[in-house]
């Protein structure tokens, strides 16, 4: 593959982020250029690997091979060595490490965890898992990006606070993702359900499916609400705004599901005027809380 220039690579990373995660892309606009570039590069690196692993028709062994190959290449890049076969995502990681050596070292455990999550998902496709495995999966998948983001936006944040953000915001956001995408995962026979839920609900029964949705919505809201208290424990205004925007995004999805009477077969990529207005109300409430913390001098 012919590698692109760093400028072109950042453009590709920006396009990929904007398409897949509009909230994150909007947040990067608030960051200084150096942090914005670092965020886009590491996002692009992980997004491309995730897309490779999720490609339809791949066998379990093929997915594992992709993950292991990229782990080996990552090891080389962290040692300052260039893999024999470099592609644009590898160049993104290389530029990230080169431009942000201290941050890159701090980020490495999170990258490793996300690769481990891809292995877990490959090993557990199309079968129920335990409740503990579900929450840990959500913590790794949804939480690692929060740890990475908090490290970028607020280098002085305590590791314990960063982890608590991951265990609340991360789990709540990923549970919400699973609800939003339920109908697509159901068609692909790849829904993330626990063994307890599999024995409790008939997922072909409309009322059972709604009851399942009610319980999951309640649980996702509980995690997101637990995370709210950690907003005031972050001295960085940018990180506070970021967490508020993420709460707004995922609480809006949960509100939409409730307004549609917990019908998971609905298309949640579309938003009605009534749902839009409800989302604006959540947006105003979340930002008001950040401004209250900031201008009232509320701290840890």
CB 96 within 8 A of CB 45: yes
- Please state, in angstroms and rounded to a whole number, the distance separating the CA atoms of residues 127 and 185: 12
Extract the tokens encoding 276: 């839009």
Q: Are residues 170 and 26 part of one domain?
A: no
Q: Judge contact between 243 and 231, C-beta under 8 A.
A: yes
Name the one residue in this structure whose structure tokens are 């993420």: 246
Q: Which of 64, 90, 119 represents a domain boundary (last residue)?
A: 119
Same domain for 175 and 288: yes
Report the run of H or E that residue 103 belongs to, with start and end.
Answer: helix 101-123
Of 119, 144, 168, which residue is a domain's last? 119
Which of 96, 119, 142 is the endpoint of a domain? Answer: 119
Q: Report the distance separating Cα 72 and Cα 42, nearest Å.
A: 17
Domain co-membership, 173 together with 293 = yes
Rounded to the nearest 10 degrees, the angle between the axes of helix 144-153 and helix 237-259 is: 150
Which domain range does residue 295 map to? 124-300
Indicate the angle between helix axes 206-228 and 171-180, nearest 10 degrees.
Answer: 150
208 and 180 inside one domain: yes
pTM: 0.80
* Residue spans of alpha helices (H) in the chain: 6-20, 22-28, 33-53, 60-78, 88-99, 101-123, 131-138, 144-153, 159-165, 171-180, 182-187, 195-200, 206-228, 237-259, 273-295
| Model pLDDT, residue 300 | 45
Pair (49, 66) in one structural domain = yes
In tens digits, the chain (300 residues) has pLDDT values of 556 778 888 898 889 888 887 777 887 887 788 888 888 898 899 889 988 988 878 888 998 999 999 999 999 999 998 888 889 999 999 999 998 888 888 888 888 888 888 888 888 777 888 999 999 889 888 887 788 777 777 777 788 888 899 899 999 999 999 999 999 888 878 888 999 999 999 999 999 999 999 999 999 999 999 999 888 888 788 888 888 988 999 999 999 999 999 999 999 989 999 999 999 999 999 999 998 888 876 554
Same domain, 23 and 172: no
CATH number at residue 206: 1.10.600.10
pLDDT digits (tens, 9 = 90+) for 175-231: 999 999 999 888 878 888 999 999 999 999 999 999 999 999 999 999 999 999 888
- When divided into structural domains, the chain yields a total of 2
């Amino acid at each position: 593959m012919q590698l692109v220039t760093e400028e072109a690579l950042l453009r590709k990373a920006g396009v990929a982020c904007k398409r897949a995660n509009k909230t994150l892309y909007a947040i990067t606009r608030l960051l200084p250029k150096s942090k914005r570039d670092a965020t886009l590069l590491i996002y692009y690196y992980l997004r491309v690997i995730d897309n490779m692993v999720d490609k339809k028709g791949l066998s379990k062994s093929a997915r594992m091979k992709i993950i292991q190959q990229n782990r080996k290449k990552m090891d080389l890049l962290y040692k300052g060595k260039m893999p024999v076969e470099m592609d644009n995502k590898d160049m993104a990681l290389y530029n990230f490490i080169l431009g942000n050596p201290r941050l890159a070292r701090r980020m490495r455990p999170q990258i490793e965890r996300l690769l481990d999550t891809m292995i877990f998902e490959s090993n557990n496709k199309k079968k129920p898992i335990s409740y503990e495995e579900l929450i840990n999966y959500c913590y790794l998948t949804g939480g690692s990006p929060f740890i990475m983001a908090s490290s970028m936006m607020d280098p002085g944040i305590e590791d314990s606070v960063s982890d608590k953000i991951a265990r609340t915001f991360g789990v709540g956001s990923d549970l919400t993702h699973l609800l939003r995408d339920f109908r697509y995962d159901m068609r692909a026979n790849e829904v993330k359900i626990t063994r307890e839920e599999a024995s409790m609900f008939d997922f072909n029964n409309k009322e059972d499916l709604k009851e399942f949705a009610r319980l999951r919505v309640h649980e996702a809201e509980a995690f997101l609400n637990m995370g709210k208290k950690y907003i005031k424990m972050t001295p960085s205004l940018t990180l506070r705004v970021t967490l508020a925007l993420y709460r707004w995004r995922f609480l809006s999805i949960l509100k939409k599901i409730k307004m549609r009477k917990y019908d998971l077969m609905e298309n949640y990529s579309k938003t009605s005027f009534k749902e839009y207005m409800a989302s604006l109300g959540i947006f105003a409430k979340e930002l008001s809380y950040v401004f209250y913390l900031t201008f009232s001098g509320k701290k840890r």
